[in-house]
Structure 1
Amino acid sequence: MKKLACVLALSSAFASFDALAWGYEGHRVVGSIAEKLIKGSNAEKQVAALLLPGETLESITNWADGAKGGVGYPAATPEQVVYTTANPKHEEYHYVNIPFQKQHYHDHEVGTSPHDIVKTLRQAIAVLQGKTGPDVNPHNFTKRQALLLVAHMTGDIHQPLHVGAAFLDKNSKFVVPKTQAEVDGVNIFESRGGNSLLLDDDKLSTLSKALIPGQDKPLPEGAKKWTTRPFHSYWDSTVVNYAMRRISTTTPAQFAEKVITDPDKFRNCEICPVLPVNTTTDPTFWPYEWANDSLAISKRAYDDVTPGQIAPQVNKRGETYYTFSLEMGQNYPVPSSAIAKTQLIKGGQNLAAVLKAIWPDA
């Protein structure tokens, strides 16, 4: 289900102030790392030529989320309105829902679509390479739109729940549907990228206080405290906050500076190696490799979590959907925040790598 639609559908269960959140800060971490890694290169010059005054590679990483509009987002700009009008399925460009138990992304299998994140990234990369035509660029992206999408979705594809999805049966067991038709909402349910898997927020706060240094961020003024936190939101934003706190940083720029200037200490403390996962020379195929890597990582994201009671919910449109309670292991914030740190760094490295491959130095 579309990410924004998920947020809206669940609005009766929790406040959606975290909707922007790899959340807002996570995307800026990816952009900040890439910005530093392309400094002085031809890629930096070519990126700058596509930016508006005041923009940076870091600042544009959330443009594609901002284009969605809705609860938790600022009003869309005229440029974003043009983009969304021409791309009515743009909300679906940010993810693919492959059963997390799978080993590889394959076209036309359960959870994939012609406009999923892998296909969208391939098209945007091709546009930046100067390729045109409806077979290569069916969405008719401009070069600037392509850069805005690559900057954002290279971050998205490294968030494991944007690739590896959970499907559950009516007994709250993780299952692997063989066809999309089996996901009927009666015998097999899609977790909507983890948005239908709900953590007890008070339990999570108590758990994290004992394991993660620093303090939780205060609620925005007027925001209501969550009673439940969707598992997707945990991976979008909560673990980013934990990852930053664990290396004593409070801003995306600080995080990027630390992992670049002292890589032996900060890049790879718990899960090795941290390297770009690009093995082919054609960067339009790299999104397949990135998706496969995140799919492998998603298996670790679903380790040590146990789905529980299924409960029907009714959204504002009167439609019934189902949520599942979710319990995580007592140490879960530690390995999950280590994974988040590594994936953020990979995202920044791979964003820099793809931009340099598109615009190599002479």
Structure 2
Amino acid sequence: MLRAAIALGWLAVVALDPAPASAWGYQGHRVVGSIADQLLKPAAKAQVQQILNDFDTHGIDLRKAAPWPDCVKSVVRHDDGKFHYEVDPDHIEFEVPCTPFNSTRERARIVDYAARNWSTCSYTPDGFERGCHNTFHFLDVAIQRSYVDRGLQGTNPHDLVAAIEAAIAVLQGKPIPPPFPFSIKDRKEALLLLAHFIGDLHQPLHVGSVYLDGNGRLVDPDVAHKVDPDTETNGGNAIEDSVAVPFQVINLHHEWDDIPTDLGDAATGELVDAAKSVPPSQGALESWPAAWATDTLLVAHDAFKGLVFKPAQPPAPAKWTVTYDNHIDYLQAADAIKRKQLAKGGARLAELLNTIWP
């Protein structure tokens, strides 16, 4: 029964999509935020409530706030250069976590944030400009590495670690350190970003990545001193899994975004207990994001363990396909990893805010 339940949870995935993936989906981000809500100390909880609830927003906690940066992905730029929030008629479900922010004022904030952070870098994963703000959700460090460092391939001044550092600076009332190209206008925006990005940081495929040659063998971008567009897998988005659901095109990254179905979209007692057992972070607060990224990179080693990659056959939209040494064993291991990472994300989000507002 356990194996069947895990398999069913794994199958609740979405088809290959050229748009940027959202770590954990909104349910996972809500779980991370919900865990943190329960671990906040009184001073931090009061600050969070005050910052998140103003004018048109009421009753917003970290659980409801955490999906906000994915709502920003509904903003599009038209040929006249103007930005608009547009609901995808084919995916109305994307709007479920965005309803707390559907007032005129909050919708304007979303559009304004996207516009300010659109062209500070170029991001064209599928040949179309997607807006620089989408790069804030991930970094792609090769799994051959055992640490995250700014000098590695797959990192840049507008990646996930840099975005978290920028949001922390704003919450602390400090200027965003150069050369980070972020426009975060106030503490509310910073907190909305941080609640989400800490969740992203704990999804293994938002930190670690494989780079493959034309035969599906690992290559090392740090040895080559560059990232070859023909070898990068975009955190698994370019890897098709035809094993999970035969005759459907599903990518490996989206499978890792999917959380165990029994968790719902709020903290469970089991996850809160696991979060309470997460060891406290060491060193200065400013060093935590990179240290947490290193921890997740090591988890990504396990996420890619036992996988075999081959070139995809046309007309498959992906570059490569993946097979498994043992698919059921892999699903069980992935389930356990996801639960542990969600608990870590919630624990560390709370730890960070408790440290900023002791």
Relative to structure 2, which stretch is displaced further, 132-141 or 282-291?
A: 132-141
Equivalent residue runs for 1:123-272 within 5 Å: 123-132=166-175, 135=178, 138-141=181-184, 142-177=186-221, 178-179=223-224, 181-185=226-230, 189-200=231-242, 203-204=243-244, 227-237=248-258, 240-241=259-260, 244-245=261-262, 249=263, 251-253=264-266, 255-260=267-272, 263=273, 267=274
Pairwise CA distance, 1:229: 1.4
Equivalent residue runs for 1:60-79 within 5 Å: 60-69=65-74, 71=88, 72=91, 73-74=94-95, 77-79=107-109
Q: Which amino acid aligns with 2:46?
A: K
- Could you say which residue in structure 1 is the equivalent of 2:322? 326
Deviating beyond 4 angstroms after TM superposition, the runs of 4 or more aligned structure 1 residues are 13-21
Normalised by the length of structure 1, the TM-score is 0.75
Pairwise CA distance, 1:294: 0.4
- Could you say which residue in structure 1 is the equivalent of 2:162? 119
Pairwise CA distance, 1:48: 0.6
- Give the alignment partner of residue 113 of structure 2, picking from 61, 83, 100: 83
CA distance in 2, matches of 1:136, 1:148: 22
| Structure 2 unaligned spans of 5+ | 1-13, 76-87, 119-131
Pairwise CA distance, 1:313: 5.9
**Aligned CA distance change for structure 1 residues 99 and 58 (closer, same or farther; 3 Å):** same
**Aligned CA distance change for structure 1 residues 343 and 139 (closer, same or farther; 3 Å):** same
Pairwise CA distance, 1:252: 2.6
Relative to structure 2, which stretch is displaced further, 139-148 or 15-24?
A: 15-24
Q: Is the 8 A contact 2:311 2:321 kept in 1?
A: yes
CA distance in 1, matches of 2:197, 2:155: 16
- Could you say which residue in structure 2 is the equivalent of 1:347? 345
Aligned length: 299
Q: Is the 8 A contact 2:271 2:339 kept in 1?
A: no
CA distance in 1, matches of 2:138, 2:37: 24
Q: Which amino acid aligns with 1:339?
A: I
Q: Is the 8 A contact 1:33 1:257 kept in 2?
A: no
**Aligned CA distance change for structure 1 residues 18 and 149 (closer, same or farther; 3 Å):** closer
Local SS of the residue matching 1:326? strand
**Aligned CA distance change for structure 1 residues 16 and 24 (closer, same or farther; 3 Å):** farther
Pairwise CA distance, 1:310: 3.1
CA distance in 1, matches of 2:43, 2:212: 47
- Could you say which residue in structure 1 is the equivalent of 2:82? none
Local SS of the residue matching 1:306? strand
Q: Which amino acid aligns with 1:31?
A: G
- Could you say which residue in structure 2 is the equivalent of 1:297? 299
CA distance in 2, matches of 1:140, 1:68: 16
- Could you say which residue in structure 1 is the equivalent of 2:310? 308
CA distance in 2, matches of 1:144, 1:34: 17
- Could you say which residue in structure 2 is the equivalent of 1:50? 51
Aligned Cα root-mean-square deviation (Å): 2.8
Q: Which amino acid aligns with 2:281?
A: N
Q: Is the 8 A contact 1:167 1:175 kept in 2?
A: yes
- Could you say which residue in structure 2 is the equivalent of 1:7? none
Q: Is the 8 A contact 2:23 2:206 kept in 1?
A: no
**Aligned CA distance change for structure 1 residues 182 and 129 (closer, same or farther; 3 Å):** closer
| Structure 1 unaligned spans of 5+ | 1-10, 207-225, 315-320
- Could you say which residue in structure 2 is the equivalent of 1:278? 281
CA distance in 2, matches of 1:136, 1:21: 25
**Aligned CA distance change for structure 1 residues 311 and 278 (closer, same or farther; 3 Å):** farther
- Could you say which residue in structure 1 is the equivalent of 2:139? 96
Relative to structure 2, which stretch is displaced further, 51-60 or 149-158?
A: 51-60
CA distance in 2, matches of 1:60, 1:357: 20
CA distance in 2, matches of 1:15, 1:181: 26
Q: Is structure 2 residue 343 aligned with structure 1 residue 338?
A: no
Local SS of the residue matching 2:32? helix
CA distance in 2, matches of 1:78, 1:104: 39
Normalised by the length of structure 2, the TM-score is 0.76
